[in-house]
């Protein structure tokens, strides 16, 4: 499985991906799911992938080779939207080539990507690309995308991250999001690839691969677990003895009221079978 998350914020972009792939509990491997395309003169892009590894590697290889789609590739696209369309066309190229073979073997054509970056002269942009090659773009209201095993890491993003969240805080949030996913799902695993891109730099030096020996990620893991336990213990216990207390849990729902309790009837008529 996979977990990848990316944020498009006022100050720039944050990308984080794990590196575990598995085809059953006895076949677990490590593959990098992030690729960077950078020309410090005019563009920076990062691509993260989830789904069938053979498909995603083929798509990435086409992009690395600079194959042209409608006369464009990642190095010649005029903007990030055109670059995303190039990624989508690469997905369709592999789909047209391999999907019939996949279906014959009973395998679903399954892939998804997060693609983002900046072309000189426009703002940073972020896209989620589906297995059909179509895509959507992030907005100031919906400023992050996830692919893969997303449910465990979503709550922290929903509660904290906004478009104007500073990059350092956003980085902390995506690492907590990943730690929560690692804790709850064994199909997501270390090492992790992290990129933080600052608006208008057109390159980044904030790239790092994290494993269990990384001191900051180890601190995140320990402190997050400790603070969660502390917060839970600090929340008042439910009050069952009254309906008047602030923490009373006995106050009935206005919509449904009390739970119905069914009791055994005092007398039950026996059914006799007629012969």
Residue ranges covered by each domain of the chain: 3-229
Q: What is the predicted pLDDT for the residue at 267?
A: 75
- CA dihedral angle for residue 235, residue 236, residue 240, residue 245, rounded to 10 degrees: -130
What percent of the residues of the chain are helix, what percent strand, and what percent coil, each to the nearest 5? 30, 25, 45
Please state, in angstroms and as integers, the Cα–Cα distance from residue 218 to each residue in 2, 9, 190, 275, following that order. 20, 26, 12, 76
Give the pLDDT of residue 274: 61
| pLDDT of the residue at 38 | 96
CA-based nearest residue to 147, from 67, 49, 246, 266: 49
- Per CATH, the homologous superfamily of domain 3-229 is Aminohydrolase, N-terminal nucleophile (Ntn) domain (3.60.20.10)
Q: CA triplet 184, 6, 125: central angle to 5 degrees?
A: 165
Residue 189 has what pLDDT?
95
pLDDT of the chain, 275 residues: tens digit per residue:
899 999 999 999 999 999 998 766 677 899 999 999 999 999 999 999 999 999 999 999 999 999 999 999 999 999 999 999 999 999 999 999 999 999 999 999 999 999 999 999 999 999 999 999 999 999 999 999 999 999 999 999 999 999 999 999 999 999 999 999 999 998 999 999 999 999 999 999 999 999 999 999 999 999 999 999 999 999 999 999 988 888 899 888 889 988 899 999 887 666 656 65
- Per-residue confidence (pLDDT) for residue 269, from 0 to 100: 65
Q: Give the pLDDT of residue 272.
A: 59
CB 131 within 8 A of CB 113: no
């Amino acid at each position: 499985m996979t977990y990848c998350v990316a944020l498009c914020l006022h100050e720039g972009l944050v990308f984080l991906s794990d590196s575990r792939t598995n085809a059953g509990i006895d076949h677990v491997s490590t593959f990098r799911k992030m690729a960077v395309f950078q020309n410090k003169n005019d563009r920076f892009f990062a691509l993260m992938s989830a789904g069938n590894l053979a498909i995603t590697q083929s798509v990435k290889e086409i992009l690395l080779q600079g194959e042209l789609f409608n006369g464009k590739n990642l190095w010649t696209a005029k903007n990030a939207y055109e670059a995303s369309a190039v990624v989508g066309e690469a997905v369709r190229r592999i789909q047209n080539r391999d999907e019939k073979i996949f279906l014959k073997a009973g395998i679903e054509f399954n892939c998804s990507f997060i693609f983002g970056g900046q072309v000189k002269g426009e703002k940073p942009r972020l896209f989620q690309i589906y297995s059909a090659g179509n895509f959507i773009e992030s907005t100031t209201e919906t400023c992050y995308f996830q692919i893969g095993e997303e449910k465990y890491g979503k709550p922290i993003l929903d509660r904290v991250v906004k478009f104007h969240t500073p990059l350092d805080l956003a980085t902390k949030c995506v690492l907590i999001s990943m730690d929560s996913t690692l804790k709850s799902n064994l199909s997501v695993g270390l090492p992790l690839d992290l990129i933080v891109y600052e608006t208008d730099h057109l390159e980044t030096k904030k790239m790092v691969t994290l494993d269990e020996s990384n001191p900051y990620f180890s601190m995140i893991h320990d402190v997050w677990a400790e603070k969660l336990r502390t917060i839970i213990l600090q929340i008042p216990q439910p009050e069952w003895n009254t309906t008047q207390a602030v923490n009373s849990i006995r106050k009935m729902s206005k919509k449904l009221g009390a739970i119905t309790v069914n009791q055994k009837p005092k007398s039950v008529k026996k059914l006799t079978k007629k012969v």
